[in-house]
Amino acid sequence: ETGVTQTPRHLVMGMTNKKSLKCEQHLGHNAMYWYKQSAKKPLELMFVYNFKEQTENNSVPSRFSPECPNSSHLFLHLHTLQPEDSALYLCASSQEVPGLGVNEQFFGPGTRLTVL
Amino acid sequence: GQQLNQSPQSMFIQEGEDVSMNCTSSSIFNTWLWYKQDPGEGPVLLIALYKAGELTSNGRLTAQFGITRKDSFLNISASIPSDVGIYFCAGQLGDDKIIFGKGTRLHILP
């Protein structure tokens, strides 16, 4: 138990569906992240929210839309996805200290997404 | 962009053996992190290294931050079945984003 929870754990959706992934962190951190994990590839950073503001969007297609209503919750809204978007989507959080650059990220268990 | 080369990609060892894996980069980092991911779970932080030359242990795990700041290794001594999983290295420079390696998949034969 890392203090970061994700729901659902598994999701199967069609290409025309709209769904949302949810992440919640109970660690009092001020930064949250979405990563995509595909087989045999490094973890791919998608979005970073720091103090509730999006500070990074790593050239992610617009069919993925993040939302961070507060520092404890992070959503990833999905619509018109493609089969190649099937992957494990991981949420992480960390306590950012400006200027220190130390960034120990704590990960949730992930949502296994399958797009048919 | 920055890349981490993590090796080996996979390992098959006997229970009780020691394990060694490493990460190298063409760029320098000022933080190295080692994570383990069990099947169906997210990565869990094992060891964090902040200083070149630093050697840190966590139980049977030992990791070192290379003196050139471009590499790091992780050793596991006397492996046990629950060590099975994927081990990831990650590096960070300053406030830049963390870069992850592709992982080393550890298999333990009975």
Rounded to an integer, what distance in angstroms lies between the CA atom of residue B88 and that of residue B36?
Answer: 6
Mean pLDDT on B11-21: 96
Inform me whether the pLDDT recorded for A102 exceeds 60.
Answer: no
Q: What percent of chain A has pLDDT over 90?
A: 68
Residues of chain B in contact with residue A91, where contact means CB-CB under 8 angstroms, are 42
Instruction: Quick: pLDDT tens for A31-51.
Output: 999 999 998 788 899 999 987
Residue tagged 């290409």 (tokens): A15
Residues of chain A in contact with residue B4, where contact means CB-CB under 8 angstroms, are 42
Name beta bridge partners: A10: A112
Instruction: Quick: pLDDT tens for A63-78.
Output: 999 999 999 999 999 9
Measured CA distances, B21 to A67, B35, B39, B103 (Å): 37, 12, 19, 10
* Cβ distance of A42 and B94 shorter than 8 Å: no
Instruction: Quick: pLDDT tens for A105-116.
Output: 899 999 999 999
Mean pLDDT on B57-64: 96
Token code pair at residue B79? 């492996």
Q: What share of chain A is helix, strand, coil (3-state, %, to 5)?
A: 5, 55, 40
What single DSSP character describes residue B55? Answer: E
Rounded to an integer, what distance in angstroms lies between the CA atom of residue B49 and that of residue B70?
Answer: 13
Measured CA distances, B35 to A69, B54, B78 (Å): 28, 17, 19
* Cβ distance of A103 and B92 shorter than 8 Å: yes
User: What does the pLDDT read at residue B92?
Assistant: 86
Q: Are A106 and A46 in contact (CB under 8 A)?
A: no
